[in-house]
């Protein structure tokens, strides 16, 4: 079984798959009479299709043990999908490149509790993967008509495991 070591999540390394959402290096300014700092436009939702709308949800994620064996990847062809942790624990981000409609070349990133991601439309990714304890995530994605979920169950001989250094 192939083993992936989760790399630190950085804007540069994640750019082919989407955007990293974090306050550092963001455009920010004070609002509400100087009592609130707005970190502005950290990512952009991208939705397409008849009746498409941007929705906001909270996902309650069950933690995964390491090494984490990846047996399912998915993608959303009609909209981007953003995840931002509401807790204080690190979490895994697993993505794959696309080759003729199939997920290939998996990569894993270790995200801090202060980092979110915005996956581009059509990017193959693993399921929500919190570590250590159940965790809530704010999720911004597409609602509305149309098939916006493709899943691939990874064949056993093609599965891979993710570890930390």
**Whether the predicted pLDDT of 165 surpasses 90:** no
d(CA 112, CA 132): 13
Q: What is the mean pLDDT of residues 12-19?
A: 98
DSSP helix/strand/coil, 156: helix
Domain 2-163 in this protein, CATH class = mainly beta
Token pair recorded at residue 2: 């192939």
Segment 95-108 shows an average pLDDT of: 97
- At 17-71, the pLDDT tens digits run 999 999 988 999 999 999 999 999 999 999 999 999 999 999 999 999 999 999 9
Element (H, E) at 21: strand 18-21
CB 98 within 8 A of CB 124: yes
The secondary structure element, H or E, covering residue 26 is none
Domain boundaries, the chain: 2-163
CA dist 22 and 153 (Å) reads 31
pLDDT 10s digits, 103-160: 999 999 999 999 999 999 999 999 999 999 999 999 999 999 999 999 999 999 999 9
């Amino acid at each position: 079984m192939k083993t992936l070591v989760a790399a630190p999540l950085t804007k540069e390394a994640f750019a082919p798959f989407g955007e990293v959402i974090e306050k550092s290096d963001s455009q920010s300014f004070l609002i509400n009479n100087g009592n609130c700092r707005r970190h502005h436009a950290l990512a952009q939702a991208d939705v397409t299709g008849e009746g498409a709308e941007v929705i906001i949800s909270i996902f309650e994620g069950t933690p995964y043990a390491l090494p984490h064996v990846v047996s399912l990847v998915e993608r959303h062809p009609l909209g981007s999908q953003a995840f931002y942790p509401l807790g204080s624990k690190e979490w895994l981000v697993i993505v794959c490149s696309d080759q003729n409609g199939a997920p290939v070349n998996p990569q894993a990133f270790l995200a801090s509790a202060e980092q979110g991601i915005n996956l581009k439309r059509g990017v193959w990714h693993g399921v929500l993967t919190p570590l250590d304890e159940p965790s809530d995530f704010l999720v911004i994605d597409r609602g509305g008509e149309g098939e916006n979920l493709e899943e691939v169950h990874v064949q056993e001989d093609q599965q891979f495991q993710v570890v930390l250094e």
